[in-house]
A and B are shown apart, each in its own frame.
Chain A
Amino acid sequence: LAKTTQPISMDSYEGQEVNITCSHNNIATNDYITWYQQFPSQGPRFIIQGYKTKVTNEVASLFIPADRKSSTLSLPRVSLSDTAVYYCLVGVYSGNTPLVFGKGTRLSVIA
Chain B
Amino acid sequence: DGGITQSPKYLFRKEGQNVTLSCEQNLNHDAMYWYRQDPGQGLRLIYYSQIVNDFQKGDIAEGYSVSREKKESFPLTVTSAQKNPTAFYLCASSTIRLQGTEAFFGQGTRLTVV
Q: What residues of chain A have their CB less than 8 Å away from a CB belonging to chain B?
A: 30, 32, 34, 41-46, 49, 51, 87, 92-96, 98-104
Contacts and interface: CB of A to CB of B under 8 A. Distances in A.
Nearest to A92: B99
Contacts of B29: 95
Interface centre among A34, A95, A96, A102 (most CB of B within 10 A): A95
A43 B50 contact: no
Contact of B48 (A30, A44, A98): A98
Give the 5 A-B CB pairs with smallest separation, nearest first: A43-B105, A95-B96, A101-B43, A95-B31, A101-B42
Contact of A45 (B40, B44, B96, B105): B105
Interface of A is mostly: loop
Contacts, number: 75
A103 B107 contact: no
Contacts of A104: 42
Given A41-B108, A95-B30, A102-B42, A51 B88 contact: no
6 contacts: A46-B103, A51-B100, A95-B95, A96-B31, A98-B48, A99-B45
A41 B88 contact: yes
